[in-house]
Amino acid sequence: MYQYIKTEENNRIGYLILNRVEKKNALNYDFVKEIKGALNEWKSNTVIKVVVIKANGDVFSAGADLDVLKQLQVNTFEENLEDSRHLKELFEIIATYPKVVIAQVEGHAIAGGCGLATICDFCFAVPEAQFGYTEVKIGFIPALVSIFLVRKMGEMKAKELLLTGKLISANDAKAFGLINNIFEKSMITEATTQFAEKIANETSLNSIAQTKELIVQTWHLPFTEAMDTAAQYNAISRASEDCKKGIQAFLNKERITW
Give the active site residues: 135
Give the Cα-Cα-Cα angle 52, 210, 83 (nearest 5 degrees).
55
Exposure string of 163-185, with b = 16+ CB inside 10 Å and e = fewer, is eebbbbebeebbebebbbebbee
DSSP 207-228: HHHHHHHHHHHHTTS-HHHHHH
Q: How far is CA 55 from CA 83, 104, 131, 145, in A?
A: 23, 8, 15, 20
Taking the mean position of all CA atoms in its chain, how far away is CA 136? 22
H/E run at residue 26: none
Rounded-to-integer distance, Cα 64 and Cα 106, Å: 18
Edge-to-edge strand ranges of the sheet holding 59-61: 59-61, 108-110, 130-132, 168-169
Rounded-to-integer distance, Cα 59 and Cα 26, Å: 9
Helices (H) and strands (E) in the chain, counts: 11, 10
Residue 116: which of 68, 45, 59 has the closest Cα?
59
Rounded-to-integer distance, Cα 243 and Cα 236, Å: 10
Rounded-to-integer distance, Cα 5 and Cα 3, Å: 6
